[in-house]
A and B are shown apart, each in its own frame.
Chain A
Amino acid sequence: DVKVTQSSRYLVKRTGEKVFLECVQDMDHENMFWYRQDPGLGLRLIYFSYDVKMKEKGDIPEGYSVSREKKERFSLILESASTNQTSMYLCASSLYPLYEQYFGPGTRLTVT
């Protein structure tokens, strides 16, 4: 079974803080993704990575950066958290770019 884990289920941060969300997968998948999910807006792709140290912008990369130093780990960084970044953040991985993706349990981030 593919397992994708995320560092926190719930997180509360203050405006302006730097926030790190960590994601680890154990299936040796090449591709990893970060999404945010908001009511009425569905899943929106922030960044994805198809190899170590490689990254591509998704649909809404502004205000975010990512890091992939090891194949199994993909980090999402909020450089200076803002209240409009309050959301559910979901990490996913897949073996190939357009293959099925497997999701972690999500991190519900609240920025106050």
Chain B
Amino acid sequence: RKEVEQDPGPFNVPEGATVAFNCTYSNSASQSFFWYRQDCRKEPKLLMSVYSSGNEDGRFTAQLNRASQYISLLIRDSKLSDSATYLCVGPNSGYALNFGKGTSLLVTP
């Protein structure tokens, strides 16, 4: 049973577009959520934490919907450099985080 699920994509969007990813989680007691970005053949890097009240950082907005048990990532005004895999992360039932398999984004000129 995978505790964090996300659409693998790929999402192909033109520059300047707005794109949104969702990620569902199964552990209703979860408190910690994050979005990571991973470039090809590189390590995952923290993009942003997801707070109950939502979180915005420039063009990126993360939101948590506890009732439906999903988190979302919205990217506005997409740039070519946003092309990457985005990993959704939530806690498992123990002391470790659970990483989704990632959603691939390709921003085209």
Residues on A facing B (Cβ under 8 Å): 31, 33, 35, 40-43, 45, 48, 50, 56, 58, 90, 97-106
A and B contact pairs by CB, cutoff 8 A, 23 listed: A42-B99, A42-B100, A42-B102, A43-B44, A43-B99, A45-B96, A48-B96, A50-B95, A56-B94, A56-B95, A58-B96, A90-B43, A98-B31, A98-B32, A98-B91, A99-B32, A100-B34, A100-B49, A102-B46, A103-B44, A104-B43, A105-B43, A106-B42
| Extra pairs beyond A101-B46, A103-B45 (20, CB < 8 Å) | A31-B95, A33-B96, A40-B101, A42-B100, A42-B101, A42-B102, A43-B99, A48-B95, A48-B96, A50-B95, A56-B94, A56-B96, A58-B96, A98-B31, A98-B97, A99-B32, A100-B46, A100-B49, A105-B42, A105-B43
Interface range for B: 10 to 19
Chain B residues contacting A58 (CB-CB under 8 Å) are: 96
Chain B residues contacting A103 (CB-CB under 8 Å) are: 43-45
B87 an interface residue at 8 Å Cβ cutoff?
A: yes
Residues on B facing A (Cβ under 8 Å): 31-32, 34, 42-46, 49, 87, 91, 94-97, 99-102
**CA separation between A42 and B4, bound complex, in Å?**
11
Chain B residues contacting A31 (CB-CB under 8 Å) are: 95
Closest Cβ–Cβ distance, residue A36 to chain B (whole Å): 12
Closest Cβ–Cβ distance, residue A97 to chain B (whole Å): 4
**CA separation between A45 and B93, bound complex, in Å?**
13
5 tightest A-B CB contacts, nearest first: A42-B101, A103-B43, A97-B95, A43-B99, A98-B32
